[in-house]
Amino acid sequence: MTDERLGEGLWAALRKLPPGSGVVFRHHATPPTERRTIHRRVRRIAKARGLVLLIAGGVLAGDGVHKRGHTRGLRSWPAHDQAEAVAGWKAGADLLFVSPLYPTHSHPGASSLGPARALRIGRGLGLSRIALGGMNVKRFRRLRGRFDGWAAIDAWR
């Protein structure tokens, strides 16, 4: 997940992702002209490295969208509870970002799901589930394959 807080660290993070990984381009607080410039660079890197690029908001080009927008590609969906997971399934999502598993810097003071509750979200819908929120390699390994992947912002900082 891209975020203004990554700053110039975004480029190093993109270089560290293994081919086949995904990037959700956000940068919602960035002014439109600068957002398009950053997006073009992210898109170039994603294409060169074999990364999947999803767009959150706006009409920028990618391999799909995060939540809303028209797409012929992938659609990811945020799932903070079972109702949102079902909404994503009804909207034709391919994968769910189940969050927040753990406390995050993105939402200081907000409650987190914890692994047990997070594992129930989206179960049985036939969608890939990606763990998000306070995630890092160590925490993902502790989940022992119960999610299809993990995503992060702060893990790259």
pLDDT tops 80 at residue 29: yes
Q: pLDDT tens-digit profile of 87-96?
A: 999 999 999 9
Interatomic CA distance for residues 13 and 112, integer angstroms = 25
Q: Is 33 exposed, middle or buried (0-12, 13-18, 19+ CB in 10 A)?
A: exposed
Q: Is 137 helix (H, G, I), strand (E, B) or coil?
A: helix
CA atoms within 13 A on the CB side of 38: 23
CA atoms within 13 A on the CB side of 5: 10
Domain 73-151 in CATH 3.20.20.100: no
pLDDT tops 90 at residue 107: no
- Counting residues of the chain whose pLDDT is more than 70, the rounded percentage is 97
Smallest CA-to-CA distance from 73 within 49, 46, 100 is with 46
Q: How confident is the model at residue 157 (pLDDT cuts 50, 70, 90)?
A: low
**Amino acid 62: pLDDT:** 86
Q: pLDDT tens-digit profile of 39-89?
A: 999 999 999 999 999 999 877 888 888 987 777 789 999 999 999 999 999
Structure tokens that stand for 63 in this block? 């391999």
For the chain, give every domain's residue range. Answer: 1-65, 73-151
Smallest CA-to-CA distance from 45 within 93, 10, 71 is with 10
**Amino acid 97: pLDDT:** 95
- Answering whether pTM is above 0.75, one says yes
